[in-house]
Structure 1
Amino acid sequence: MIKVERVLIPVDGSDSSRNAAKYGAHLVNSKYPKIYLLNVWEPINMTIGGEMAEKLRANAEAKSMAVLEEYKKLLEPCGMDVELISRSGRPDYAILNVQDELQCDLIVIGSRGLSVLENVIMGSVVTRVLEGATCPVLVTRNLRLKYLKDACGL
């Protein structure tokens, strides 16, 4: 049996990522599971410097940590070890870098379901994560309540 001990769950505050977090925590089946919640925030424009850049960076990181704390509270009933990670940068790169650094066994990511045209124009974080991940990736989309009713934190 494959042990899923380290699960990376990228979150962004959307219902899709909230449901992915619940479902991902429910899937973990090891004795000492570890959930890594990751939030990626937009980097500060390089043309802004000095004290203003530091204020903007601190503000962005504080907002990111607030989102992560909300998810941590959501998963408290699961009784798992949850670590919060806040990173700046392009979401797909950050997700893949954290997955590699922490040697995660699984990435659980919610998909909002962009239209085909939006996906072609903007690209898709989920698609790029699927292409670059070195571990299995579970993409959740429009989960029905029956999949979440026994999940932790619902």
Structure 2
Amino acid sequence: MCFSKHVQKILVAHDGSDHAKKAVERASALAKALGASVYVITVSTDPSQVSLEKAKKIAQEAANALKSKGVNVDDIAVRSGTPATEILNYAEEKEVDLIVMGSRGLSAIQCLVLGSASQAVVSRARVPVLVVR
């Protein structure tokens, strides 16, 4: 896959799933190749303090994995709400050039949902979306 050198800001959506971990790996490789910065977002569908703390831990783990590979992480966001909406809102706020996310995420029972969001993000995003399997 070829991406332009104009990609300077990459958003990676991470929920702790295996597909999201692969998305972090892909975002890392792209960021290094393009000299881009990475933003990390984790969205919890449950606004409780426990769920938000779990989401913070997941987001920080993703950021640490990126940093360990020499990637610049500009921001880490934890949001509560509908995953697709929060991912898209954050992407616009940060004016990212590319969104990278897993094709499937954790189940709703585990409070962090991403997989069902990938189709919504792809169909509504104003920037390219790389869906990783």
Instruction: Give the structure-1-normalised TM-score.
Output: 0.71
2:15 to 12, 16, 38: 12
* Deviation of 1:100 (Å): 0.7
Name the aligned partner's letter for residue 23 of structure 1.
R
- Which ranges in structure 2 are unaligned for 5 or more consecutive residues? 106-114
1:70 maps to 2:75: no
Name the aligned partner's letter for residue 130 of structure 1.
V
Match of 1:36 in 2: 39
Match of 2:6 in 1: 3
Match of 2:98 in 1: 106
Distance 2:104 2:56 in 1: 22
Indicate the RMSD between aligned Cα atoms, in angstroms: 1.8
Name the aligned partner's letter for residue 98 of structure 2.
L
Identity %: 34
Name the aligned partner's letter for residue 99 of structure 1.
A
1:125 maps to 2:128: no
Task: Give CA deviations for 1:31-70 in whole Å, capped at 9, x if unaligned.
Answer: 4x211110001244xxxxxxxxxxx3x3222111111111
Instruction: Give the structure-2-normalised TM-score.
Output: 0.81
- Which ranges in structure 1 are unaligned for 5 or more consecutive residues? 45-55, 114-122, 142-154
Name the aligned partner's letter for residue 76 of structure 2.
L
Runs of 4+ in structure 1 deviating by more than 3 angstroms, as ranges, are none
